[in-house]
């Protein structure tokens, strides 16, 4: 029995409303920090850390990982990266002792959790990626000396960590591309890894304005291995900024609905049920 809370992004009001609707034990799916607008990173982190010290569970999101890299000089200090991280920077500054205290705490959060019948990751539960990371870090917790290769994406370990927190992408077959929502040509496409029946690039492609641009070709085995099997235990993620009415039925779903905040009350069921959703 767990109540699962997706991406809070420094929204203390939403966190308090969510907590008021739920019961312990709690588990957070990461992306606690970095509001798009406003935000109170200190209040959210203080509250969640207190809950974790009291027994709540929390995993790491891409925003926590990026913060751990950024404040150690392992992520480019660009305008875009600062913008994504603005509310945290406003609260704690750049590479200050306070920023480093919090990003050290982020490193205590595992990349995945298996609750025995329910699995949690921030963006993707991928058996090959988890196996790669677990070979070095069996409990899914990164060490500070893992960070340089993650920032550089220079090793299979570093790339596996990135896929778990940010989701997999696949390079389209040679010569193929699509035009994204911003009008930019792209040769890499995000993978809807939870579509267990997706056999082709087109069926597995995510965030593509015109799916007809994606080739209807069979996915190679290495990519197919990232697709979540239909008979695997249920898994919940956040991360994907879903739109519309929250829906989870099946065995893999995102709870991240920024415009329709929700949580999930898991009571041991072997398949996710829309009836388990709590709208906040
Ligand atoms: Mn995320």
Q: Give distance in angstroms: CA of 31 to centre of ligand 1.
A: 6
Q: Give distance in angstroms: CA of 261 to centre of ligand 1.
A: 15
pLDDT, residue 89, reads 98
What's the CA gap between 176 and 40, in Å, rounded?
43
Q: Give distance in angstroms: CA of 7 to centre of ligand 1.
A: 7
pLDDT, residue 102, reads 98
Structure-token pair, residue 125: 């539960």
pLDDT, residue 64, reads 98
Show Cβ contacts of residue 95 under 8 Å, excluding neighbours closer than 6 positions.
Answer: 71, 72, 73
Q: How confident is the model at residue 257 (pLDDT cuts 50, 70, 90)?
A: very high
Quick count: other Cβ atoms within 10 Å of Cβ 38? Answer: 11
The CATH number of the domain covering residues in 2-163+232-279:
3.60.21.10
Q: Give distance in angstroms: CA of 270 to centre of ligand 1.
A: 25
Q: Give distance in angstroms: CA of 26 to centre of ligand 1.
A: 19
Q: Give distance in angstroms: CA of 120 to centre of ligand 1.
A: 13
Residues with C-beta atoms within 5 A of ion ligand 1:
31, 61-62, 239
What's the CA gap between 5 and 94, in Å, rounded?
28
- Calculate ∠ Cα 139-162-246, nearest 5°: 90
pLDDT tens digits, residue range 27-49?
999 999 999 999 999 999 999 99
Q: Give distance in angstroms: CA of 130 to centre of ligand 1.
A: 18
pLDDT, residue 93, reads 98
From 108-112, 164-168, 225-229, the region with the lowest mean pLDDT: 225-229
Of the chain, the percentage scoring pLDDT greater than 90 comes to 98
Q: Give distance in angstroms: CA of 25 to centre of ligand 1.
A: 22
What's the whole-model pTM score? 0.95
Q: Give distance in angstroms: CA of 33 to centre of ligand 1.
A: 10
Q: Give distance in angstroms: CA of 115 to centre of ligand 1.
A: 21
Q: Give distance in angstroms: CA of 209 to centre of ligand 1.
A: 21
- pLDDT averaged over the chain? 97
pLDDT tens digits, residue range 196-225?
999 999 999 998 999 999 999 999 998 999
Q: Summarize the confidence of residues 122-148 as an average pLDDT.
A: 97
Please state the domain extents for the chain: 2-163+232-279, 169-225
pLDDT, residue 4, reads 98
Q: Give distance in angstroms: CA of 174 to centre of ligand 1.
A: 29
Q: Give distance in angstroms: CA of 229 to centre of ligand 1.
A: 23
What's the CA gap between 234 and 4, in Å, rounded?
13
Q: Summarize the confidence of residues 128-155 as an average pLDDT.
A: 97
What's the CA gap between 49 and 45, in Å, rounded?
6
Q: Give distance in angstroms: CA of 122 to centre of ligand 1.
A: 7
């Amino acid at each position: 029995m767990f109540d699962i809370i997706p991406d809070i992004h420094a929204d203390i009001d939403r966190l308090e409303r969510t907590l008021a609707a739920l019961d312990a034990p709690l588990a957070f799916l990461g992306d606690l920090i970095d509001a798009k607008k406003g935000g109170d990173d200190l209040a959210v982190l203080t509250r969640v850390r207190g809950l974790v010290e009291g027994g709540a569970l929390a995993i790491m999101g891409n925003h926590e990982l990026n913060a751990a890299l950024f404040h150690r000089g392992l992520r480019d200090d660009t305008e875009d990266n600062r913008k994504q991280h603005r509310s945290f920077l406003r609260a704690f500054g750049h590479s200050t002792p306070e920023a480093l205290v919090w990003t050290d705490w982020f490193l205590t959060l595992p990349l995945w959790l298996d609750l025995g019948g329910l699995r949690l990751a921030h963006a993707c539960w991928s058996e090959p990626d988890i196996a790669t990371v677990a070979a070095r870090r069996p409990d899914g917790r990164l060490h500070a000396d893992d960070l340089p290769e993650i920032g550089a994406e220079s090793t299979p370990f570093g790339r596996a960590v990135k896929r778990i927190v940010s989701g997999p992408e696949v390079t389209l077959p040679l010569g193929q591309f699509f035009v994204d929502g911003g009008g930019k040509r792209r040769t890499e496409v995000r993978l809807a890894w939870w579509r267990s029946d997706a056999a082709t690039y087109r069926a597995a492609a995510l965030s593509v304005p015109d799916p007809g641009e994606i080739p209807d070709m069979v996915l190679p085995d290495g990519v197919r291995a990232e697709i979540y099997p239909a008979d695997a235990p249920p898994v919940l993620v956040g991360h994907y900024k879903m739109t519309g009415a929250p829906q989870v039925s099946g065995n893999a779903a995102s709870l991240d609905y920024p415009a329709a905040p929700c949580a999930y009350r898991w009571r041991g069921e072997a398949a996710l049920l829309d009836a388990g959703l709590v709208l906040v």
